[in-house]
Amino acid sequence: MITNSTELSTYSQNYKTLSNLEQEHGSSFYLLDIDRLQMNYKKMETAFKSRYEKFIIGYSYKTNYIPYLCKELDKLGAYAEVVSKLEYDLALKIGVVPTKIIFNGPLKTKYDIETALNMGSILNIDSTYEMKYVKEHCLQNPDTSFKVGFRVNFDISTNGVSPLVEGFEKSRFGMCVENGSFQLVWKQLKELPNLKITGLHGHFSTANRSVSTFEKITQSLCDIVKEYKLTDLEYIDIGGGIFGEVPRSLISNTPTFDDYGEAVCKIMNKEFGDKKEKPYLILEPGISMVANTFQFVAKVVETKNIRNETFVLVDGSVHNIKPTMHKKNLPMRVIRSSVDDGSNRSDTYHIVGYTCLEKDYLACDVKSQMPLIGDFIIFENVGAYTLVFNPPFIKERPAVVAFYDGKTTIARKKESFKEFFNDKLYQF
Ligand SMILES: *Cc1c(COP(=O)(O)O)cnc(C)c1O
């Protein structure tokens, strides 16, 4: 479909356009903003690359692996950061070259490890059991040379306070540096003549995503490189977990890409500035790359009053926009079917969903002119951990429509009964 607007926000502001999309895709669907995605990518790349040239963005597939999105990121130059064979195979299917796939994650089979080693993908092993597979494979193929990286785990707390999400004291990922687990694996693998230890990986999910945490991660990784004399080092991978451009209504005063870039690259330059062969710096953004590139559009089906509370029922569910069910209202817009002065109507309302769960609130205590039946509500910032977590619960999955330069493309069709209850999978 060709339209006159080149910006998604202007485009989706028009009731008629949403109506047309509804004809094709049903009364709820996602919109993917490709211009926004490109902007995020460029901004992030510039923030780091302008300060440290050898910089790689490895997009975290698990955050949102709509193939159309992953392919767009591949075109922009991103590596694919995957944490399962499923994601690895997706990267291959959309045409990512194997050497641009970063294979992380706590669970890898012998087959996964062999594939990654043979294909020359960036493989970061997470635990000791993976070492066994690597070792076996190297010994069985003595004439081929392979590369491996380690996900390491070290204390990142400050004054005894852990910055990890949900108050976790210790991360469960990677190999512990302090207790010698990492050292044990390193010792065994460095003896293999056809294996090079080429990288270190440190990803931590922290609650406040602070710049100082990233300084700590970067510095600790550099210190391990020096302590263990990793002379074949090709990359330092500081993981993901930075803030993107977050709407003020959700959190204010978050660091910018430049703030992170400045802090991290300063350390990289200090550590490697005088080296002829500098290692790559890898960042694995998820949320920060895609959260603000998706919107969810849902039509108002009913408005009702129950003992003085007003409920606006939409063809959507909290699962579509915030599967973690956090309490904050997302930024949203009401696209009205008709001009209406809104007088004599409640101006505080809840937006509730189609499921039979009492807690299915898409937004609570919204204070604005109440929507009417037939209006559309657009929820913004729904790109991260929504479509991938979105259980096909009670209804089929909605469509995803990509918008770029005034044109729309179907990135995913609305799921049908046949696809939902696949004959090949289920016994009827
Ligand atoms: C989830 C994850 C990311 C992305 O994290 P965000 O907080 O979404 O940026 C990056 N790397 C690894 C290893 C992950 O597990």
What are the pLDDT digits (tens) for 398-416?
999 999 998 999 999 999 9
The two tokens of residue 25 are 């895709």
pLDDT tens, residue by residue, 129-171: 999 999 999 999 999 999 999 999 999 999 999 999 999 999 9
Domain 8-33+292-420 identical in fold to domain 34-290 = no
pLDDT attached to residue 420: 93
From residue 341, alpha-carbon distances to 109, 321, 338, 344, 370 in Å are 62, 29, 10, 9, 10
Q: Are strands 294-306 and 28-33 parallel, antiparallel or unpaired?
A: antiparallel
Is any atom of ligand 1 closer than 6 Å to the C-beta of 213?
Answer: no
> What's the CATH number for 8-33+292-420?
2.40.37.10
pLDDT attached to residue 181: 96
Is any atom of ligand 1 closer than 6 Å to the C-beta of 105?
Answer: no
The residue extents of the domains of the chain are 8-33+292-420, 34-290
**End-to-end Cα, the chain, rounded Å:** 39
pLDDT attached to residue 417: 95
pLDDT tens, residue by residue, 337-390: 987 665 656 689 999 999 999 999 999 999 999 999 999 999 999 999 999 987
Distance CA 378, CA 335 (A): 8
Given a contact cutoff of 8 angstroms between Cβ atoms, the answer to whether 194 and 144 are in contact is yes
pLDDT tens, residue by residue, 297-325: 999 999 999 999 999 999 999 999 998 88
Q: For residue 372, report the phi and psi dihedrals to the nearest 5 degrees.
A: -115, 165
Fold of the domain spanning 34-290: TIM Barrel (3.20.20)
Is any atom of ligand 1 closer than 6 Å to the C-beta of 240?
Answer: yes
pLDDT attached to residue 246: 87
Q: What is the pTM of this model?
A: 0.96
pLDDT attached to residue 347: 83
Atom of ligand 1 minimally distant from the CA of 201:
13
Distance CA 167, CA 176 (A): 19
Is any atom of ligand 1 closer than 6 Å to the C-beta of 218?
Answer: no
By most ligand atoms within 8 Å of CB, the mutation choice from 171, 172, 203 for ligand 1 is 203
pLDDT attached to residue 1: 55
Atom of ligand 1 minimally distant from the CA of 285:
9
pLDDT attached to residue 362: 97
